[in-house]
């Protein structure tokens, strides 16, 4: 499951730098999480880091984006592979 940031966000700026996948960015009014990049920190940490640091608990599971831990791990592997440079011949 991807995470979402609710309207309770106070734009405190602590979540964005904690995201290892760079899935969090400033939206028009509040921070937003790109569900295609969010792995809930699977592959990096045991607990989503943005949730850990959020002072107002406004980061929750997106009910419209259900993914199993295995699917999140697959997404993590795909993101890592996309970041790895291809060796030149």
Report the distance separating Cα 16 and Cα 25, nearest Å: 6
Q: DSSP strand E in the chain: where?
A: 3-5, 24-26, 31-33, 59-61
pLDDT band for position 58 (cuts 50, 70, 90): very high
Give domain status of residue 88, yes or no.
no
Q: Is the pLDDT of residue 87 over 90?
A: no
- 61-74 confidence digits (pLDDT tens): 999 998 999 999 99
Give domain status of residue 89, yes or no.
no
Give me the percent of the chain exceeding a pLDDT of 70. Answer: 96
Give domain status of residue 10, yes or no.
yes
Q: Is the pLDDT of residue 18 over 80?
A: yes
Is-above-0.75 flag for pTM? yes
In the chain, the number of structural domains is 1
| Structure confidence at residue 89 (pLDDT) | 59
CATH code, domain with 77? 3.30.70.20
Give domain status of residue 12, yes or no.
yes
Q: Strand 31-33 relative to strand 59-61: parallel, antiparallel, unpaired? A: unpaired
Considering only CA atoms, which of 33, 34, 52, 43 is closest in space to residue 71? Answer: 43
Range of the domain at 48: 3-83
| Structure confidence at residue 82 (pLDDT) | 87
């Amino acid at each position: 499951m991807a995470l979402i940031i609710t309207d309770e966000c106070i734009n405190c700026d602590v979540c964005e730098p904690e995201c290892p996948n760079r899935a969090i960015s400033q939206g028009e009014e509040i921070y937003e999480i790109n569900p295609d990049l969010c792995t809930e920190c699977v592959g990096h940490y045991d607990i989503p880091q943005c949730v850990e640091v959020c002072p107002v608990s406004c980061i929750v599971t997106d009910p419209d984006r259900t993914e199993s831990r295995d699917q999140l791990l697959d997404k993590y592997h795909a993101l890592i592979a996309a970041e790895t440079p291809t060796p030149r011949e």
